[in-house]
Structure formats: structure tokens, C-alpha cells
Chain A
């Protein structure tokens, strides 16, 4: 990703005004160094001139220390080179164990923000019209219609399940409103062999792969048809058949898992990659940092998709990080990255498609930052009007809806109409209501499933505990829910 620019000022002037841009423009003057003012090559990043002092390279003390003597076997020729450097030479290169560094006698600090604004890739404008001179990956009518149908289905799924929670029929729910394009378009660009490690706001990926409305409902009701055997809260879906690892409430823990899985795919020479999703909040976790670094070092074919939706529950991104978004961090780890308009389904599709090719063919990780807005509350336990203006939410919901935007594009192509629209919506709605009824009436998993799968086999202590529990149940049946078979 090149931030190199000969005419950095021209580019900055040509950018559309966005929040924070004026701050950027001010900064570009103080960009890299004092010499920046006279130098139109301001944004060529010259590394720091401070050279770490190597004292005794032969008895290098490891951060943690060893009990037994440890010799560094790599030779460090830098000491000799350093000694023979003539003074006052500009831009000399030096060979360090970590790689070549270009020297300079000018003291320069790398700016805290990139000089050139990190472009956000979009292909469809706000009205769903293709932007001229855009490059994107072509989508067939069949795929485009399937994408739209899935996006609309996801919207309806969310609305109805949210209502079900409000009615007390399920205990909890998390919507994906506003992020339908990220979910569906990214899923459409992947293949079924790609292994998905979700956070919890990506049910659309499962939907695309064929998880049925009944299967969603079963998990939310925790009935005996739930593949998770009723052990977790609603929306904690998982499907080994569809290569979608089970959702867990823990944030960002799945990101390093995806790297290990990707490494396995590489070793098996599979034509597949691992994909993991997380929010802006998740990028603050240590596991994010660990995973990107590991992915780069192990050269694993993994796609990191960040849903930067502006909020981590009530925490806006300005309280979350001070980097210029997430994509810029990729470079710090040696990971190629892109920033995409997350509400542009076509751009999402194209970016993930390209990312997948690079990941698999070049054995490299790719970071995709999808910029979007979390229209819904964080979950049914949240009322986001407490920390953000209701009209802001409303604006994003109406004016920036990714589903409407994509619909306009497929309608303009003659692939969709108002009749198909109303048919789809009423059909999905009916199917969902039915699925919920069936799920609600179904039996819960038996109490024996409390004890299975802790290990591959039930250990003796759990056999004991189950016996003891059954005794208690017999003596005090009223203490226990009637719908769980004993």
C-alpha cells in the first residue's frame, strides 16, 4: 500500500471534505520533519535516525533471561560497518539483523497519521449508481439477486427476532441492521471451503451459505435441534457443515484462531482461506495485534474483515483508538490492507474477492476495513439513544441503508422490481413466523447434555455429579424448568 506521493498537497486538496480532514491538512505541514516544508517529497517515510546502541552482541540478553547461557549465533556485522562509516554521509544504507535501514543525519519523526488520506474504496454512489471509472469485480444477475434477497432476508430476520425478544419469547438478540452489505457481499465473494471465524454480528455469512431460518430459530430458542445443544445464548450460531465456527461472546479471541486455521489450509495446499470478522472495538484487544503479527510472520492465507461501525456498545471510535481507522495498522505489521465503504455491496464483494485471491495465491494475510454504521442497538440489552442522538441513527437507517442502495442498482439493471420485492418480503416474513412457532414448541435438549462434550468422553467426576444432580431433581422437581427433559 503506497502512501508515497510526489504531489501530496495536490491529492489532499482534491479529496472530498471529511471530518478530520482539516486536522490532517494542518498536520501535513508538520508531517515528517522540519525539512518537510521545503520538500515536496514530504511523504516519503524516512525511518528514524536513532540507531539502537549494540553493546555486546555476543551476550545478547533476552527480555526474559535464561537459566543457561545462550549465545546469539547470528553475526552482527553492523558494529564493524558502523565504525567505518564516514561522517556526514547522507542516505547511507546499513545492514541490521532486522533488515536494511537508510540513514540520515536529519532528525525526523514519523507522523502519527498518514500524510496521504487513506482512500475508502466505493463503487456505487449513495443512490446505487455505478461511479464512473470505477473498477470492480463483475457480479452476475443470479449472484446479485441472491445477494439482495439475502440482505433483505437478513433485515427481516433481525426485525422479527428482535421483536420476539421484546415479547419475551427469546432471552436475547443481536441485530445486524446497517451491516447487511458487509455480511452478504463478503460471504458471496468467498467460497464454501473458506473457513469463517465470526464475532457475533455476521449471521448473514451463515445465511448466505445455506443456514435455514429454522436453524437460526432453533439456536435462539435453545431447543433440542440447536446444534449447540442449548448451551449458549441466542445468536451464538455455529455450523461445521457450513465451515462457520461457533460464535462466542468473547471479543477478538477468534482472530488468532483464524490464523492457525489459515496456516493449516496452506500446509494442506487447499484452494481456500480463513476469514475472520470483528468490530472496531475488537481491534483494541491484544488478540488482534497478536493475530496480525502471527499472520504476517507465518505467511498465512487469512482475511481479516473489520466492521468499523463507529461504536463498541456506547464507546465511539474516538475513545477506541487514535489511528486513522483500522486499515492503516496493517502496514505496521507488514499486512496489505484496504479501506472499503462497508455499505456498498459491490465494493465489498470486489474487495473481498481480490483479497481472497491474494491471500491464497500469495500466501499472505489481508486486512479489510469496512466502514459502516451500527444502525441497531448493540443488543437487546442496550438502548443506544442513551449515548447517541436518535436522529443520527434515523439518518443512517434511511439515507444510508445498504440494502436500499443495492436494490437500486439491481433494479436499474432490470433484475428486480417492486413485485418481486413484496413477494420476497412477505414470503420470508411468513417463513420466519412459522419457524419461530416450531422452534418455540420444540423440546429443549435433555439434561444429560449438560455433562457431555466437556471432554470427548464423560470423566468419572461428571458421572458422579450427574448422579447426584438427578437425585436432587427427583427430590425438588419444582426447582427446575419443566421443558428440559430429565
Chain B
């Protein structure tokens, strides 16, 4: 994946070479592929979803003209206003309506314009969607519901265009939380989420919408949920992350290599239910773990991974579990570069952990 340096800010490095190490099973290799960015990949997934299922719907604020990030371009023209439509500006309504639609057996693909605005829908997600099947004794379910939202830092987003709220949702049994790292991952994962018989929250790293460009197969393909992927093999330390942060982590891994530290990098992909097995197997190999995410460190999902690893692998660990995360502050504007878990912060933590 090549990150074009359009805005002269963060420059990522391709994760292309690591595809060979993928443990994911998929039929990605057949057919032709095109070099496209993240929002185009998501757009393709949505086109495929609506094409293959006449009972699939896409709705949310501004989706009709293509969406503020162009993820829904062309859908309304191709599938009609009855299946692709704008909703009123009301997140609790978007998700509540989506639950009802899904409960009738449809694939309700709801867009929340920014993850920062998902909170009015939190009650519907936690108390309704997550418990819909369980409380009814499996007489009813809203598994056809998928909620998509752009999340994460973008360089100038400030408090309300940069948040990473995944941790709130990881504490809710009954839903799945999925975060792709690249265009090819996004298309396959989103199609899996849409077709998964459970309600899913799909966070898309907005920073990568234009900047991440990758070869993406043109056909219909799915990538498995709840399967983490080792995207870089190593033997000295395991790094765990998701979404846009992985490319930063990979840069740190490459530099650590120069100092003779061999890093294993894991993309969690699905945060709940998460693939503990893959992470545990890696930690048993390396004896060291570092978790990195943009969300504030306290109560972030890194805390869950850390606690689980300590429980299972305490005697194997050579050092404390390290977390390199956002600060415990609202996401700042001018101070964003200070807030963010940068490559050098990660590199320092790698060295500190290895030299513990």
C-alpha cells in the first residue's frame, strides 16, 4: 500500500510486501485488480453489496449525492432512491430505523458521518442492536445491520473530526467491531461485515480515504472476521494495532530492524470478538508485546489486550506490556502532533521493552 504524500504530512510506507505473510483465507488472488484508494474500495464494496442482495439498503446523512467522503458515489443513481437515500440529521434515528429494517431481514447499511457523532446512537447500539437477538430468545435479530463511520486523526480534525471511539463499543457483548487497515482489506472486510448475521460497527480510517492506494481485486470477495493477521514476521517483540496506526507501527518496525530488533506486527482487524489465539501464539514466540492506538490510553482497547496477554502469558513475558497511545485529553488541533502515538514514540518503547 503506497501512501501518497499529498498534504506533505504523514508519509506511510507500503505494506505490500507483507501480503505474502497473510494468514487470512480468501480468494483474493483470482481475477483482475485495480489500484484504487480507500474510499473507492469501500464504494466498490457497497456497489457489490447492493448488486448481490436486492434487500440491501444504504442510508445516512448526505449519502445520496455520494457522501462527504464519496464512499457512496453512484449508488443512488444505480440502485434508486428507495434503496439509497438521505436521512434526517439524527443519528439515533439512523440506527433505530436501521435496526427495524434489519429486523425484517434486510441488509441495513447505515452511515454515521463521523465517528465523533455516533454517541446519540449509542443507546440504540448498546441497548437495542446488541441485545436484540439475546433478549428475544433468538426469535428476532438485527444481524443485517452494519454501521459505517469514518474515524481517526486526519491532521487537522480537532475534537470532533478525529475521534477513535472503538473502546466504547468493545465493551458491548452482541456487536462486532471491525477496522480495516487498507483499501484491499476494507473491501473484503466490509463485505463480510454486511453479510455477517450480527450487527457490526465498521470504523474506516478517514486519513487513508485518499492517501492509501492499493491493488484491489475488482470482484466480490470477503475477508474473515475475528481473524487477526500477522503482517510482518519477527522474533523479538509483538506489536498489535489496527487501522491507520499500523502504517506508523510498520515504520517503527523497519527502523527497529536497523538496530537488530526483529518485530512481529499483527493487524487485529476485528476488535470484538478478537482473535486472542493469534496474538497469544505470537507472544509465546517473542515474549514481548507493544500495543498502539490513537484513542486515549486510559480504558483504550489496548488495556483489554494487555490484561488478556498478562493473564495467559505472564511467565513467558520478558517485559511489561507496553502501550503507545493517544494522551488522555480531547483530541487537540494545534497539539495533534504531540498527542499522536508517533513512530519515534513507538520506536523508543520497542527499545525500552527489548532492553528491559
Q: What 4 A-B pairs are tightest by C-beta distance, nearest first?
A: A260-B100, A256-B96, A290-B93, A257-B100
Bound together, the chains give a CA A256 to CA B124 distance in angstroms of 10
* Cβ contacts B173-196/A at 8 Å (1 or 0 each): 110100000000000000000000
Confirm or deny: B157 has a beta carbon within 8 angstroms of a beta carbon on chain A.
yes
Pick the contact of B135: A65, A228, A293 (CB < 8 A): A228
Known: A263-B97, A456-B133. 17 other contacts (CB 8 A): A64-B114, A67-B68, A67-B154, A226-B137, A229-B137, A231-B135, A240-B139, A246-B136, A250-B127, A257-B97, A260-B97, A267-B106, A286-B120, A290-B90, A291-B93, A454-B173, A456-B141
Confirm or deny: B255 has a beta carbon within 8 angstroms of a beta carbon on chain A.
no
Pick the contact of B96: A228, A248, A267, A291 (CB < 8 A): A291
Q: List A contacts of B135 (CB < 8 A).
A: 228, 231-232, 236, 238, 246, 248
Q: Which residue of A lies closest to B108 (CB)?
A: A260
> Which of chain B's residues 108-139 have a Cβ closer than 8 Å to chain A?
108, 113-114, 117, 120, 123-124, 127-128, 131, 133-139
> Which of chain A's residues 222-272 have a Cβ closer than 8 Å to chain B?
226-229, 231-232, 236, 238-240, 245-246, 248, 250, 253, 255-265, 267
Q: With A64-B117, A287-B96 as known contacts, state yes or no: A260 contacts B101, CB within 8 Å.
A: yes
Chain A nearest CB, measured from B226 CB (Å): 7
Q: List A contacts of B87 (CB < 8 A).
A: 294, 297
Q: With A454-B174, A460-B277 as known contacts, state yes or no: A294 contacts B134, CB within 8 Å.
A: no
Pick the contact of B160: A64, A232, A246, A289 (CB < 8 A): A64
**When the two chains form their complex, are residues A274 and B160 in contact, meaning their CB atoms are under 8 A apart?**
no
Bound together, the chains give a CA A77 to CA B136 distance in angstroms of 53
Q: Which residue of B lies closest to A236 (CB)?
A: B135
Counting chain B CB atoms within 10 Å of each CB, the highest count among A228, A231, A239, A263 belongs to: A263
Bound together, the chains give a CA A365 to CA B161 distance in angstroms of 35
**When the two chains form their complex, are residues B89 and A63 in contact, meaning their CB atoms are under 8 A apart?**
yes
Chain A nearest CB, measured from B315 CB (Å): 19
**When the two chains form their complex, are residues B82 and A267 in contact, meaning their CB atoms are under 8 A apart?**
yes
Bound together, the chains give a CA A461 to CA B274 distance in angstroms of 9
**When the two chains form their complex, are residues B106 and A264 in contact, meaning their CB atoms are under 8 A apart?**
yes
Pick the contact of B161: A65, A255, A264 (CB < 8 A): A65
Q: List A contacts of B92 (CB < 8 A).
A: 256, 286-287, 290
Bound together, the chains give a CA A212 to CA B69 distance in angstroms of 52
Q: List A contacts of B97 (CB < 8 A).
A: 256-257, 259-260, 263, 291, 294, 298
**When the two chains form their complex, are residues A260 and B102 in contact, meaning their CB atoms are under 8 A apart?**
yes
Counting chain B CB atoms within 10 Å of each CB, the highest count among A264, A290, A455 belongs to: A455
Bound together, the chains give a CA A259 to CA B226 distance in angstroms of 32
**When the two chains form their complex, are residues B273 and A459 in contact, meaning their CB atoms are under 8 A apart?**
yes
Q: List B contacts of A267 (CB < 8 A).
A: 55, 82, 106
Q: Which residue of A lies closest to B134 (CB)?
A: A453
Count A-side interface residues using an 8 Å CB cutoff. Answer: 55
**When the two chains form their complex, are residues B103 and A245 in contact, meaning their CB atoms are under 8 A apart?**
yes
Q: List A contacts of B138 (CB < 8 A).
A: 229, 452-453
* Cβ contacts B83-96/A at 8 Å (1 or 0 each): 00101111011011
Bound together, the chains give a CA A455 to CA B98 distance in angstroms of 18
**When the two chains form their complex, are residues A453 and B133 in contact, meaning their CB atoms are under 8 A apart?**
yes
Confirm or deny: A66 has a beta carbon within 8 angstroms of a beta carbon on chain B.
yes
**When the two chains form their complex, are residues A456 and B198 in contact, meaning their CB atoms are under 8 A apart?**
yes
Bound together, the chains give a CA A267 to CA B59 distance in angstroms of 15
Q: Binding site of B, secondary structure by majority: helix, strand, loop or mixed?
A: loop
Count B-side interface residues using an 8 Å CB cutoff. Answer: 59
Q: List B contacts of A480 (CB < 8 A).
A: none
> Which of chain A's residues 83-118 have a Cβ closer than 8 Å to chain B?
none
Confirm or deny: A387 has a beta carbon within 8 angstroms of a beta carbon on chain B.
no
Confirm or deny: B143 has a beta carbon within 8 angstroms of a beta carbon on chain A.
yes
Residues on A close to B: CB < 8 A?
63-68, 70, 73, 195, 197, 226-229, 231-232, 236, 238-240, 245-246, 248, 250, 253, 255-265, 267, 274, 286-287, 289-291, 293-294, 297-298, 452-456, 459-461
Residues on B close to A: CB < 8 A?
55, 65, 68-69, 82, 85, 87-90, 92-93, 95-106, 108, 113-114, 117, 120, 123-124, 127-128, 131, 133-141, 143, 154, 156-157, 160-161, 173-174, 176, 197-198, 206, 226, 273, 276-277
Q: With A67-B161, A245-B136, A248-B127 as known contacts, state yes or no: A455 contacts B101, CB within 8 Å.
A: no
Bound together, the chains give a CA A245 to CA B198 distance in angstroms of 18
Chain A nearest CB, measured from B155 CB (Å): 9
Bound together, the chains give a CA A240 to CA B135 distance in angstroms of 13
Bound together, the chains give a CA A64 to CA B65 distance in angstroms of 17
> Could you give 9 example pairs across A and B, Cβ below 8 Å?
A63-B89, A67-B161, A227-B139, A256-B95, A257-B96, A260-B103, A264-B101, A294-B97, A455-B133
Q: List B contacts of A291 (CB < 8 A).
A: 93, 96-97
Q: With A248-B128, A294-B93, A456-B133 as known contacts, state yes or no: A70 contacts B101, CB within 8 Å.
A: no
Chain B nearest CB, measured from A245 CB (Å): 6
Pick the contact of A455: B89, B90, B140, B174 (CB < 8 A): B174
**When the two chains form their complex, are residues B104 and A264 in contact, meaning their CB atoms are under 8 A apart?**
yes
**When the two chains form their complex, are residues B104 and A256 in contact, meaning their CB atoms are under 8 A apart?**
no
Q: Which residue of B lies closest to A238 (CB)?
A: B136
Q: List A contacts of B90 (CB < 8 A).
A: 289-290, 293-294
Q: List B contacts of A68 (CB < 8 A).
A: 68-69
Chain B nearest CB, measured from A359 CB (Å): 15
**When the two chains form their complex, are residues B103 and A456 in contact, meaning their CB atoms are under 8 A apart?**
no
Q: List B contacts of A459 (CB < 8 A).
A: 226, 273
**When the two chains form their complex, are residues A70 and B99 in contact, meaning their CB atoms are under 8 A apart?**
no
Bound together, the chains give a CA A70 to CA B69 distance in angstroms of 10
Pick the contact of A73: B65, B134, B137 (CB < 8 A): B65
Chain A nearest CB, measured from B355 CB (Å): 33
**When the two chains form their complex, are residues B88 and A260 in contact, meaning their CB atoms are under 8 A apart?**
no
Q: With A70-B68, A274-B100 as known contacts, state yes or no: A294 contacts B88, CB within 8 Å.
A: yes
Chain A nearest CB, measured from B238 CB (Å): 19
Q: With A260-B96, A265-B104 as known contacts, state yes or no: A453 contacts B137, CB within 8 Å.
A: yes
Q: List A contacts of B137 (CB < 8 A).
A: 226-229, 231, 238, 246, 453
Q: List B contacts of A66 (CB < 8 A).
A: 68
Q: List B contacts of A259 (CB < 8 A).
A: 96-97, 100
Q: List B contacts of A229 (CB < 8 A).
A: 137-138
Chain B nearest CB, measured from A205 CB (Å): 16
Q: List B contacts of A226 (CB < 8 A).
A: 137
**When the two chains form their complex, are residues B103 and A257 in contact, meaning their CB atoms are under 8 A apart?**
yes
Q: List B contacts of A246 (CB < 8 A).
A: 135-137, 139-140
